[in-house]
């Protein structure tokens, strides 16, 4: 057993007596996956001070475990090792912690094998907002408002564009194409979120065009295909649309 290797996973945010058991179990599972030798790696206890999970690697697996950690440190890990490293680092960041893995010899000398930035990792940034000329496509499902700026909504599959507005003149013309596919042109105000997705904050419509020559029946079919729209339960959708499109004074609906 003298050739076995003792490795320590040090987490600075908790004490052994304060870390929740479920969280400790998650870190232990991650540590085992990081080392990558299911049968040659054994739990060797918790050490005092900050949370330190000790593992004992059997001598025949030491070279493979050392090579695996070295590959991660050098930036050329296997796919599963890279995934595990990222998972641990995100977990540490969420716990406002940093971590490291080190080897400890019989004399208590330690050698750091791997470091996790955790809470010090670069924070993803959001960008914007930006103004961008462009267009949006969708089924026109709403036109309304009494102010100078009239709001409208487009449905494109599961996406609803609801932060759109235009002038009364354009809205009056758009209202003639309620529940028809249209393309609206104008200026969008966008922000890029920290996860890389773009969010539309506002879209100012300057002009529009009607798309294709689909019949009202086709538009109804498109509406019914939208999950949660409620149109599947309407017995006479064409009659319902006709009622909705009928003018009621000067107000558009």
Residue 175 is classified by DSSP as G
Say if 250 falls within a structural domain: no
**By the 8 A CB rule, do 98 and 121 touch?**
no
Claim to verify: residue 133 and residue 64 sit in the same structural domain: no
Domain annotation covers residue 25: yes
In this structure, is residue 148 part of a structural domain?
yes
Q: Which domain holds residue 148?
A: 127-245
Residue 30 lies in a domain: yes
End residue of a domain, out of 100, 120, 140: 120
CA 109 to mean position of chain CA atoms? 42
Tell me how far apart the alpha carbons of residues 30 and 88 are, in angstroms, rounded to a whole number: 7
**Domain closes at, from 71, 95, 120:** 120
Is pLDDT above 60 for 221?
A: yes
The answer to whether 182 touches 129, Cβ cutoff 8 Å, is no
Q: Which of 223, 201, 28 is nearest to 128 (CA)?
A: 201
Find residue 156's DSSP bridge partners. 159
Residue with tokens 């507005």, as numbered in its chain:
165
The tens digit of pLDDT for each residue in 120-141 reads 988 767 777 889 999 999 999 9
pLDDT in tens, 144-182: 887 778 999 999 888 889 889 999 999 999 999 999 999
DSSP string over 72-141? HHHT---HHHHHHHHHHHHHHHHTT--EEEEEE-TTS-EEEEEEE-GGGSPPP--EEEEEEEEEEEEEEE
Residue 131 shares a structural domain with residue 241: yes
Average pLDDT estimate for 189-199: 81
Say if residue 217 is in the same domain as residue 133.
Answer: yes
Bridge partners of residue 111, in order along the sequence: 103
b/e string for 129-139 if b means 16 or more Cβ within 10 A?
Answer: eeeeeebbebb
203 and 138 together in one domain: yes
116 and 19 share one domain: yes
Residue ending a domain, among 78, 98, 120, is 120
Percent share of the chain, pLDDT over 90: 55
Is 252 a domain residue? no
| Range from 49-58, 112-121, 211-220 carrying the lowest mean pLDDT | 211-220
CA gap 251, 106 in Å, rounded: 84
pLDDT bin (cut points 50, 70, 90) of residue 84 is: very high
The three-state secondary structure class of 239 is helix
Distances, alpha carbon 113 to alpha carbons 10, 65, 119, in Å: 12, 11, 19
- Residue 253 — very low, low, confident or very high, per pLDDT cuts 50/70/90? very low
Are residues 94 and 181 both part of a single domain?
no
Quote the pLDDT of residue 149: 85
Signed CA dihedral, 213, 216, 220, 221: sign only: negative
Does the pLDDT of residue 19 top 50, yes or no? Answer: yes
Q: How many domains does the chain have?
A: 2
- 159 in a structural domain: yes
């Amino acid at each position: 057993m003298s050739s076995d290797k003792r490795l320590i996973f040090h987490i600075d945010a908790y004490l052994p007596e304060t870390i929740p058991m479920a969280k400790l179990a998650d870190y232990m599972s991650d540590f085992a996956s990081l080392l990558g030798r299911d049968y040659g790696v054994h739990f060797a206890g918790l050490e005092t001070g900050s949370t330190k999970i000790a593992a004992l690697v059997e001598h025949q697996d030491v070279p493979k475990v050392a090579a695996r950690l070295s590959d991660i440190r050098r930036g050329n890990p296997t796919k599963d090792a890279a995934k595990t490293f990222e998972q641990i680092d995100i977990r540490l960041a969420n716990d406002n912690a940093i971590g490291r893995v080190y080897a400890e010899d019989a004399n208590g000398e330690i050698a750091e094998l791997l470091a996790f930035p955790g809470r010090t990792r670069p924070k993803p940034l959001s960008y914007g907002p930006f103004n961008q000329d462009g267009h949006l496509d969708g089924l026109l499902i709403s036109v309304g408002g009494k102010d100078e700026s009239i709001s409208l909504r487009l449905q494109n599959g599961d996406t609803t564009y609801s932060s759109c507005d235009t002038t009364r003149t354009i809205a009056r013309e758009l209202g003639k194409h309620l529940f028809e596919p249209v393309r609206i042109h104008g200026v969008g105000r966008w922000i890029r979120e920290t996860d890389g997705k773009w969010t539309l904050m506002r879209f100012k419509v300057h002009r529009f065009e009607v798309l294709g020559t689909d019949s009202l029946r086709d538009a109804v079919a498109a509406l019914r295909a939208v999950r949660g729209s409620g149109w599947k339960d309407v017995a006479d959708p064409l009659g319902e649309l006709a009622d909705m499109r009928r003018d009621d004074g000067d107000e558009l609906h």
